[in-house]
Structure 1
Amino acid sequence: MPIREGNYQVNPDVGILYLGTVLKDAGYQISLLDCPKEDFSFSDFRTYVKEGDFDVVGFRCFSRDHNYVNHHASIVKSIKPSTLTLVGGPHPSALPEFVLSRMPNVDFAWKAEAEEGLPQLLRMFSEYKHEIPEALLETIPGLVWHSRKEERIVVNKPGFGIDLDSYTPAWELLKPETYPGYEERKTVSTRIWDGFFHVTTTRGCPFPCTYCNAPNLSGKKLRHRSVDKVIEELLILRDRYNAKRFSIIDDEFTLSKKYATSFCQGLIDAKVNMKWDCPNGVRMDSLYPELLLLMQAAGCDALCVGIESGSARMQKLIQKKVTVETIRERANMIAGCSNIRITGYFMIGFLDETEEEIQETLNLACTLPLRRAAFNVVIPIPGTQIFDELIDNGRLKLEEINWDTLTNDQVAFKRNHVTGKRLLELQREAFLRFYSRPSVALSVAKETLRNPNVLRASISKLRKLSWRSETYSFTPMYLGSQRAL
């Protein structure tokens, strides 16, 4: 994971874990480096790479990481030019040709999942080094590569053929005991949203939401891990790392009622006895009383729900395929039939959204039975319909995008009706209105006073809401480090 600055949380990354596990099972020696966790500077990274003398170095890349990953790769090549450099993740998956052309020190990029194709590439590299025949490169699912013969960048068809039950995640590769707060997180069973032991049960999403790129990353078809395999992983976390809770980070955990029911019953039958939550956001229209009661019996004590907007017009425009009336009905149903705590995810600042429609979202948030809420500024995520439309109408120019601004608390593009300054004011107003209500404020205060990490995070959030402009004002680390190359 690359060096990162700004607003982020340090947690084990299961995407890297799964890739590492597949390569470990194939017989390769693997080292996973989480630069934010290690608090690395680029000088630290240079030393690490030099001492490690790696044959292959790969990077996970979100769009906000573009400039940082580019600089990481430059450091690797300056130390050992023969090193094979790779980049994968959401950013190259959405903009494969652009990323590979703009990162001159990256040899290959990846579109979508890499578990199936990466071992194939490494086997070819072991045999041919940097002279892998193009006929072989063409066979690797999802590979993005330079064709010397055709003088262009080739993007192979993504592969979604990996058997999700073909491996059990090797958590020892991530060394979870070295992450901040590990001792506290493994022993406190009442704390929610610790975001530490992330587990996936499904991949894929069939919905066309305009703000989300999930279907392009993991396919539109919903695929499941077997319940037995997931429970096997949970028992390892419980017995080896004394984990008391876990988080299901699927995009669509509850979409298949049959699978969700089977999973919950499996937890009960296996006596896993762990608390759990769903922080990525489940669809409210996939929930019903019987499932919620079974989830609660199986240990679920918190859900995040994707609400996005309180405006009926915006719900149609973003193709969420859910109505405001359904949102109200299901939120009240969750609160009425279970003790599961609900956090609502909201988005403000869609291109054609008016201030009145943003106020509708704020009003909805304050009338629903939510324990927590997040109000995020819309990000133009590459690969989404929102991003494509902004490019098509000239609001964004691919060559001019400042990738450092693609975070949910900065303003990356101009809206039709609301200025960037006003949008940030509305975001601040949303948080203050929601959390200043006595019942919510008391609940937050109790959790904050109980937990120093929550206290620090709360203070940091308040500072950012009070003292910020439309973009961060610090000088990125990669700019200061470029002089050292």
Structure 2
Amino acid sequence: MLLSLPLYRGIFTEMMKILLINPANAGILRAVGVQFPPVGPLYLGSYLEREGYQVEIWDFCTPGESPNYSKYDLVGISTDTTRHNKAMEIACRAKQAGCIVVMGGPHPCYIDEEILASKWVDFIVHGEGEVTLLELIRALEEGGKDWEGVKGLSFQRDGKVVRTPPRPVIEDLDSLPLPARHLIDMDLYRRTKFGDRPITPVVTSRGCPVNCNFCSSSSFFGRRWRARSPDSVVEELEELHNKYGFGAVAFVDDNFTLSPERVVAISEGIIRRGLDMWWWNFSRAENIVKNEEMLEVMKRAGAKTIYIGVESASPQTLAELGKRMDLHTVIKAVEVLKRHGFQIFASYILGSPRDKAKDIHETIRFAKRLDTNVAQFSILTPYPGTALYEGLKERIWHRHWPFYDSQHLVYKHEHISFIRMEWLLLKANLLYYTRSKEAMKDVWQLAKRHKWGWGTLLQFIRDYFWGK
């Protein structure tokens, strides 16, 4: 049961013991065995450690029993939409053990009223969590200080949700210590490969100035793009290569190439230090077309794959999704990337509110025409915190969060039934990956590399139909 707020005050005689938790993957990520270290909790851990706190991190994506929650004063849980149910189960166990429970991530802050009503979660952190979590912990320890003065929080008082003023974003990302990877066993994350090299994620910027209505990044991290310095990024790459033995990284920023000059500086730093690192990153199509010189330096520095969001072959659908993009630019970007020898991942979203079956078929044909190495098809999903969610709120069928995995239709579509939509998704994948012998060979090699077998297939079917 949630402790009343006055009972928190004055009960700590020494620095709090803190456990940060990453719930297990759900859906496709679990089925195909993608397993990355939890960068968010690792940043929180390093920030708290720098301030003298004893921190442990528990990743439910790795083998092991559940932690003994009674050892800790505070349990922090980072989660997203598909893992919400798992996160709430963890919160329940931690609360039963007498812990203060804090939750954050790109989901809880948008449904805080529902989560706090459960009585299993005491506080929800909104947006970037490093400073907010530290200030909350200090407020709890000091006893006499009211946490209503901590910006970026929500909690319950007398049965009502209290939301403190928003916290300003962290301006200088270089002021943050590198993720505390020493708090986890990095050897457990070597199965996920890029070619024959273990790959791990790196975040080099936060914030997104783009206005896609299906993405919560801009509302969670802010509209203004903030980037780490090239020296800071290369320092982290050197640590990953020399200390942890990773030969590849995934730059998981939404807008890695927004500043071509910074990308060139990072690339030159990799070359100068002699780091043998392969890497992939996201990029907008126009940044590729306008900056071929950047691509040349990236290639020399080890860049292998670039991921672009195409989303649809319909200009009207792109406009509806808030994607300011010209399809001719996409075609040109793919041509440029192929000419420079990059592998290309392209994403497509099926089921925009205005889409009809013919629009989806045209998108499939367009994907086949682009002929990228990988095409990722998904069904438009209205995630909490997005403009899309607000616009479709009255048409959403259910809020069974494990099904919000971009593989299921969760709102009432005007033109296409949910059964037909999911068949169109399956059809898109079948048509794309059987388009040529080379494409089928790529899929087979990918399956062998990750040791996908019948067990993986059965797990995928289970997750697809039951949303476990």
Deviations 1:311-353 (A, max 9, x none): 11101111110021211121112112x1110011111112221
The residue aligned with 1:104 is 119
Q: Distance in 1 between matches of 2:269 and 2:189?
A: 29
Instruction: Tell me which of 194, 199, 202 is aligned to 2:202.
Output: 199
Q: Distance in 2 between matches of 1:208 and 1:411?
A: 22
Q: Distance in 2 between matches of 1:345 and 1:122?
A: 40
Please say if residues 335 and 369 of structure 1, whose CA atoms lie closer than 8 Å, have aligned partners that are also in contact.
no
Larger relative contact order (Cα-Cα within 8 Å, sequence gap ≥ 6):
2
Q: Note the C-alpha offset of 1:440.
A: 1.5
Please say if residues 147 and 154 of structure 1, whose CA atoms lie closer than 8 Å, have aligned partners that are also in contact.
no
Deviations 1:169-220 (A, max 9, x none): 22111321123627xx5xxx7447x6x4111111110011011011111111
Matches within 5 A, 1:106-255: 106-128=121-143, 133-134=145-146, 137-148=147-158, 151-161=160-170, 163-166=172-175, 167-179=177-189, 181=191, 185=193, 190-191=195-196, 196-255=199-258
Q: Distance in 2 between matches of 1:211 and 1:462?
A: 30
Q: Distance in 1 between matches of 2:262 and 2:190?
A: 33
Corresponding residue SS for 1:359: helix
Aligned residues: 439
Q: Distance in 1 between matches of 2:458 and 2:330?
A: 29
Q: Distance in 1 between matches of 2:441 and 2:26?
A: 32
AA partner of residue 360 (structure 1)? E
Q: Distance in 2 between matches of 1:5 and 1:369?
A: 29
Instruction: Tell me which of 436, 439, 453 is aligned to 1:456.
Output: 453
The change in CA–CA distance for 1:168 and 1:446 in structure 2 (over 3 A counts) is: closer
The residue aligned with 1:59 is 77
Deviations 1:427-480 (A, max 9, x none): 11111111112221223334444x2x25339x845985xx679x6337x5xxxx
Q: How many percent of aligned residue pairs carry the same amino acid? A: 26
The residue aligned with 2:106 is 90
AA partner of residue 121 (structure 1)? L
Q: Distance in 1 between matches of 2:48 and 2:102?
A: 14
Instruction: Tell me which of 68, 87, 91 is aligned to 1:73.
Output: 91
Q: What is the TM-score normalised by the length of structure 1?
A: 0.85
The change in CA–CA distance for 1:74 and 1:255 in structure 2 (over 3 A counts) is: same
Corresponding residue SS for 2:83: helix
AA partner of residue 287 (structure 2)? S
Corresponding residue SS for 1:416: coil
Q: Note the C-alpha offset of 1:96.
A: 3.1
Please say if residues 115 and 162 of structure 1, whose CA atoms lie closer than 8 Å, have aligned partners that are also in contact.
no
Q: Distance in 2 between matches of 1:28 and 1:369?
A: 51
| RMSD after superposition | 2.3
Q: Distance in 2 between matches of 1:461 and 1:303?
A: 27
Q: Note the C-alpha offset of 1:296.
A: 0.5
The residue aligned with 2:10 is none
The change in CA–CA distance for 1:160 and 1:433 in structure 2 (over 3 A counts) is: same
Matches within 5 A, 1:8-19: 8=29, 9-19=34-44
Q: Note the C-alpha offset of 1:308.
A: 0.8
Q: Distance in 1 between matches of 2:102 and 2:431?
A: 45
Question: Unpaired runs of 5+ in structure 2?
Answer: 1-21
| Pairing 1:363–2:372 present | no
Q: Distance in 1 between matches of 2:203 and 2:161?
A: 36
AA partner of residue 396 (structure 1)? I
Deviations 1:18-76 (A, max 9, x none): 111101111111111111212x6xxx43xx224x5100101112122222222211111
Q: What is the TM-score normalised by the length of structure 2?
A: 0.88
Q: Distance in 2 between matches of 1:32 and 1:407?
A: 25
Q: Note the C-alpha offset of 1:266.
A: 1.7
The residue aligned with 1:298 is 301
